[in-house]
């Protein structure tokens, strides 16, 4: 553990860098601490020796290391209370009875993204007690359409359906009618089984181009049933941060956001709010992730904020905690 003065010094370095994105000099720290410049330099040397701060190539000042941020979050940071404006905006979302839970979560995280300028993520997965309430299909052209599924909890999901081969509109309608009749009322985690053992035999019997139609709709509906959905807000926010002025870094981060493994990097079953700093996360060494899981009335998933390593951890945690508490009510 650090001494009280060393912790005070590290706190000043971290919080000053969070605000300014500028390396912190010993001269600037001397103005805020009641000790000599020699003492400040000696204590900074100790912090650097412990790998809690580091020197940059472009300045004589120091910046926090990943280890320094971790020490700050675990031992120094004081949890922040939301100000009235932040709380009011979020409270309006959760007091709106016209919104189903999944929409309230998404909208509240969009607001958090606007307030913090971080990227907000909602990773959701309807649990098995969600049932299919309605199925609709919107044609795009002869071989493409959008399948829309609505659950009894009000969750809406859509998938593209692409049919290989020539099929008539009548065959498409007949297939949709069969699927809708048999999967409405079925729990989500049983949809694939119903499609395979109940829907497929009937389509084989009554629909001429049964194979092409069945494969197209099976892929769409089983994908909905098995895969979590992800919604991101403020994906461009991080690109405005000085850490991503470099074009290659910017491009690399955008590619990470589009990577199919992003869900694995975000998903958590942990009920506590956890912070993953820089190299501790698998998305990018220049970002931090704050995330937690949620569960209510059959809706389960993860809410997360992705920001630069110099993010306002206390405020970000407070915002996520407020949303998590309101989900649970």
End of a domain among 201, 226, 251?
226
> Please, are residues 119 and 158 in contact by the beta-carbon 8 Å criterion?
no
The answer as to whether 123 is a domain residue is no
Residue 182's CATH number:
3.30.390.10
In this prediction, residues 134-149 reach a mean pLDDT of 85
**Alpha-carbon gap, residue 181 to 105, rounded angstroms:** 31
Q: How far apart are CA 227 and CA 230, in angstroms?
A: 9
Question: Read out DSSP for 199-258?
Answer: IHHHHHHH-TTHHHHHHHHHHHHHHHHHSPEEEEE-TTGGGGSGGG-SHHHHHHHHHHHH
pLDDT value at residue 125: 63
Residue 126 lies in a domain: no
If one counts the domains in the chain, the total is 3
Last residue of a domain, one of 192, 226, 260: 226
Q: Which of 173, 196, 226 is the last residue of a domain?
A: 226
How far, in Å, are 8, 116, 156, 269 from residue 292 at the CA level? Answer: 29, 17, 23, 7
Task: Looking at the structure, tell me whether residues 215 and 152 fall in a common domain.
Answer: yes
Residue 127 maps to a domain: no
- Domain with 175 in it: 132-226
Higher pLDDT, 296 or 107: 107
What is the phi/psi pair of residue 68, to 5°?
-70, -45
Return the bridge partners of 63, or none: 54
Q: With cut-offs at 50, 70 and 90, classify the pLDDT of residue 13.
A: very high
At 102, is the pLDDT very low, low, confident or very high (cuts 50, 70, 90)? confident
| Residue 208 and residue 238 in one domain | no
Q: Could you read off the pLDDT of 184-242 as tens digits, one per residue?
A: 998 877 888 898 999 999 998 888 777 888 888 887 777 666 666 788 999 888 888 88
Confidence at residue 156, expressed as pLDDT on a 0 to 100 scale: 76
One domain for residues 61 and 34: yes
CB contact at 8 A, 294 and 256: no
Distance CA 186, CA 137 (A): 18
**151 and 220 share one domain:** yes
Contact, 227 vs 202, CB < 8 A? no
Rounded Cα gap, residues 28 and 279, in angstroms: 29
Residue 124 lies in a domain: no
Please indicate, yes or no, whether residues 321 and 263 belong to a single structural domain of this protein: yes
CA of 35: how far to CAs of 31, 42, 61, 64, 279, in Å? 9, 11, 18, 21, 34
Element (H, E) at 189: none
Interval 117-125 mean pLDDT: 89
If you average pLDDT over residues 276-301, what whole number do you get? 90
CATH, residue 33 = 1.10.10.10
> Residue 271 phi/psi, 5° resolution?
-80, -20
In which band, very low, low, confident or very high, does the pLDDT at 35 lie, cut at 50, 70 and 90? Answer: confident
What single-letter DSSP state applies at residue 168? -
Query: What mean pLDDT value characterizes the chain?
Result: 88
What percent of the chain is modeled with pLDDT above 90?
A: 42
The CA dihedral of 117, 93, 291, 1, to the nearest 10 degrees, is 80
Asked if the structure places residue 274 within a domain, the reply is: yes
């Amino acid at each position: 553990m650090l001494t009280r003065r060393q912790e005070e010094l590290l706190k000043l370095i971290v919080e000053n860098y969070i605000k300014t994105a500028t390396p912190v000099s010993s001269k600037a720290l001397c103005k805020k601490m009641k000790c000599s410049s020699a003492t400040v330099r000696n204590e900074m040397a100790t912090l650097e020796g412990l790998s809690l701060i580091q020197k940059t190539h472009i300045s004589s000042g120091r910046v926090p290391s990943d280890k320094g941020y971790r020490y700050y979050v675990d031992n120094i940071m004081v949890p922040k209370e939301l100000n009235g404006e932040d709380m009011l905006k979020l409270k309006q979302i959760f007091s709106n009875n016209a919104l189903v839970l999944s929409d309230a979560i998404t909208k509240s995280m969009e607001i958090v993204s606007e307030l913090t300028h971080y990227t907000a993520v909602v990773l959701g997965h309807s649990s098995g007690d969600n049932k299919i309430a309605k199925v609709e299909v919107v044609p795009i052209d002869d071989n493409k359409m959008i399948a829309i599924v609505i659950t009894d909890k009000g969750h809406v999901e859509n998938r593209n359906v692409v049919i290989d081969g020539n099929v008539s509109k009548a065959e498409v309608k007949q297939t949709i009618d069969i699927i809708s009749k048999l999967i409405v009322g079925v729990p989500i985690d049983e949809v694939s089984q119903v499609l395979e053992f109940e829907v497929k035999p009937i389509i084989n019997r009554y629909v001429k181009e049964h194979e092409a139609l069945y494969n197209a709709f099976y892929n769409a509906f089983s994908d909905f049933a098995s895969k979590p959905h992800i919604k991101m807000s403020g994906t461009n926010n991080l690109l405005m941060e000085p850490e991503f002025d470099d074009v290659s870094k910017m491009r690399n981060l955008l590619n990470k956001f589009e990577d199919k493994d992003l869900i694995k990097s975000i998903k958590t079953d942990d009920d506590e709010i956890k912070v993953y700093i820089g190299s501790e996360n698998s998305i990018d060494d220049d970002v931090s992730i704050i995330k937690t899981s949620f569960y209510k009335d059959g809706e389960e998933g993860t809410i997360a904020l992705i920001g630069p390593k110099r993010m306002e951890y206390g405020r970000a945690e407070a915002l996520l905690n407020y949303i998590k508490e309101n989900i649970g009510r």
